[in-house]
Amino acid sequence: MEKRTTPNFITRLEPNEVFVFGSNLQGMHAGGAARVALEHFGAVPGQGVGLQGQSYAIPTMQGGVDTIQPYVDEFIDFAKLHPELTFLVTRIGCGIAGFTDGEIAPLFTQAHNVDNIILPPGW
């Protein structure tokens, strides 16, 4: 059975679903998926990391890929602790932050074995 993938555009969530987006540490959710999270899924201005409403922020704007990995690991641990939730991961870091899928997807290798984390196609 092929694993479900995150759709390109998420316009609604089920009550148990969480929109996972790339953010900045300052929580200035001004563009891209961060703005969608702010306007539709409960992201909190000034909160750049973690669960907020029906969204979860992973900082991607503070440096290179190596600075993102600890936040991805923290997210994966969080998802494991919350099997009642389904986490729809957007292509974090691949928009405004300027990274490629090839740079970001490997950060989520450990997420492939977590049933409640849904990744973008090809990740």
Low pLDDT (below 50) residues in the chain? none
The predicted pLDDT at position 2 comes to: 62
The kind and range of the H/E element at 73 are helix 65-81
Q: How far is residue 79's CA from residue 92's CA, in Å, rounded to a whole number?
A: 16
Q: How far is residue 87's CA from residue 16's CA, in Å, rounded to a whole number?
A: 9
For residue 39, give the amino acid letter. E
Reading across the β-sheet that carries 50-52, which strands appear in turn?
A: 50-52, 55-59, 17-23, 86-89, 117-118
Nearest of 122, 48, 67 to residue 89 by alpha carbon: 122
The predicted pLDDT at position 113 comes to: 93
The predicted pLDDT at position 4 comes to: 86
pTM of the model: 0.95
